[in-house]
Structure 1
Amino acid sequence: MKLSGELKAFEGRLGHRFAQPALLVRAVTHSSMASPTRDDNQRLEFLGDRVLGLVMAEALLERDPSAEEGQLAPRFNALVRKEACADVAREIDLGAVLKLGRSEMLSGGRRKQALLGDAMEAVIAAVYRDAGFEAAKQMVLRLWGSRIDKVKDDARDAKTALQEWAQARGLPPPAYVETARSGPDHAPKFTIEARLENGACESAQAGSKRQAEQAAAKALLARVEAG
């Protein structure tokens, strides 16, 4: 199989030349383009998630030999979550080579965080299947770059931190309520309010519910910790 010019250029951005080009084609094929003769990237995504996890777990252990599990876990989660994968995907313009069905394309699929994150994991798996773990590891370390060195204990997500704050004071877990949604379907904006039983609350807006919840939790945590 010969790759298109766009995919050849993407290989350059990725830093890996495929001995089995069909793997790359499959990795960038969304389920909306699947057919009896064309596989999508879902199975590769499943595998890539595990490869990424192993690379990051090993990298974190090597970079901080004295860190305890309680410190490593939030750092790990920050590096492997969908937001991080999507950020890397944007840096190498993975969206430009995604193979999408018409409906996904019209709804802005090339910019969607979930699609980009899933495709990034699939690409990692494709490199792993094409050239082995060491090749996949080196690519991941190169693409994630300084993120690995910069991630700190505060990488623990805000929702977890807020829940722990509440539990330590005998309060039930925070509630997250969607109070507004605006914008077109392909670029929505969600407003989420984080609420504690003691009446404290904060709102935030973002392009996904998860991001808005995290931002609202961060704002509320800062407020209650400030006293």
Structure 2
Amino acid sequence: MTKITINSLNSSEKELENKLGYEFVKKSLFRKALTHRSAVYEQKYAHKKRKRARSNERLEFIGDRVLGLVMAEWLLERFPDEQEGDLGPRHANLVSKTVLAKIASKLEIHNSIHVASHEEKAGVNYTESVLADAVEAILGAMYLDGGLEPVRKFVRKLWVDIMKAQALPPKDSKTALQEWLLTRGLPLPVYELVSQEGPSHTPVFIINVKAQNMEGQGKGGSKRSAQSAAAKDLLGKLNKVNKIKRQGNK
């Protein structure tokens, strides 16, 4: 595990700070944003009553809200004629854990996250949920350190390509599957939790979805992401079968 210094940033933290394009006045805030709760429990100097307060969970909480505000502001500016029904899916996609994890990978945040030794060996600092949480925590720390403007500047720089790629409002796989079935007068899909593994802070869910005597399966760090993956799997199968049937009728 990377040693957590007290009054200054280590080399990986400094490198990440440079990539962020923002220099923290309060270095301790930045370091806390990179501290997973497992690392806190491993630190011998941490007092029991303050262990959870020293991790990045509180910063993640505020960072999530700040990102939501900045992104909503940007969407209203970029799509002045769209209504809430279209802006909502755009917003949900842009602040999703999947997108946050992509941002984290681009910045190579995994090199700077402090996790417990056994968690580091297991590769926890590469998981989608931990990476996404770290990005939100960094945004929270940035907001508390310098206000909203640095966060706005950072988000608009790192998310610009993803924003431009959204020519049309994205559809969640669950919604797309539901619409596919409803337009054909078919019953709605049924989701079933197959298993839940891993520790509470990095769970792995496996979910099955059934419709039209066919089945899809998905895996994710949350039930929602696993359901979405399962819906995507099943939708692909349904479209393939439907395509074969159309070709056979020609």
Unaligned residue ranges in structure 2 (runs of 5+): 1-6, 41-45, 198-202, 244-250
Q: 1:47 to 1:207 in 2, by over 3 A?
A: closer
Structure number with larger C-alpha Rg: 2
Unaligned residue ranges in structure 1 (runs of 5+): 182-187
The alignment of Structure 1 onto Structure 2 pairs a total of residues equal to 220
Partner of 1:65: 80
Partner of 2:125: 110
Q: Does 1:149 align with 2:149?
A: no
Equivalent residue for 1:175, pick from 163, 183, 191: 191
Partner of 1:216: 230
Q: Secondary structure at the match of 1:104?
A: helix
Partner of 2:37: 31
CA distance in 2, matches of 1:68, 1:80: 18
Q: Deviations over 1:114-171 (max 9, x none)?
A: 1000011000011111100011111111111211121244522101222344456362
TM (norm. structure 2) is 0.77
- 28-37 vs 209-218, which moves further: 209-218
Percent of counterpart pairs with the same letter?
A: 37
Q: Deviations over 1:168-194 (max 9, x none)?
A: 636244324649x9xxxxxx9987543
Partner of 2:57: 42
Partner of 1:203: 216
Q: Secondary structure at the match of 1:91?
A: helix
- 41-50 vs 133-142, which moves further: 133-142
CA distance in 2, matches of 1:154, 1:214: 17
RMSD: 2.9
Moved over 6 A (4+): 188-191
Q: Secondary structure at the match of 1:155?
A: coil
Q: 1:191 to 1:33 in 2, by over 3 A?
A: closer
Q: Give, as a single letter, the amino acid of the residue that structure 2 aligns with 1:102.
A: S
Partner of 1:14: 20
The alpha-carbon deviation at position 210 of structure 1 amounts to 5.6
| Contact in 1 for aligned 2:60/2:136 (Cα 8 Å) | yes
CA distance in 2, matches of 1:29, 1:62: 34
Equivalent residue for 2:90, pick from 45, 61, 75: 75
- 212-221 vs 68-77, which moves further: 212-221
| Contact in 2 for aligned 1:202/1:217 (Cα 8 Å) | no
The alpha-carbon deviation at position 221 of structure 1 amounts to 2.9
Q: Deviations over 1:187-227 (max 9, x none)?
A: x998754311x32x243566757655434312433554647
TM (norm. structure 1) is 0.84
Q: Deviations over 1:11-65 (max 9, x none)?
A: 1111111111011000000000123276100000000000111111111111111
CA distance in 2, matches of 1:217, 1:173: 9
CA distance in 2, matches of 1:99, 1:133: 26
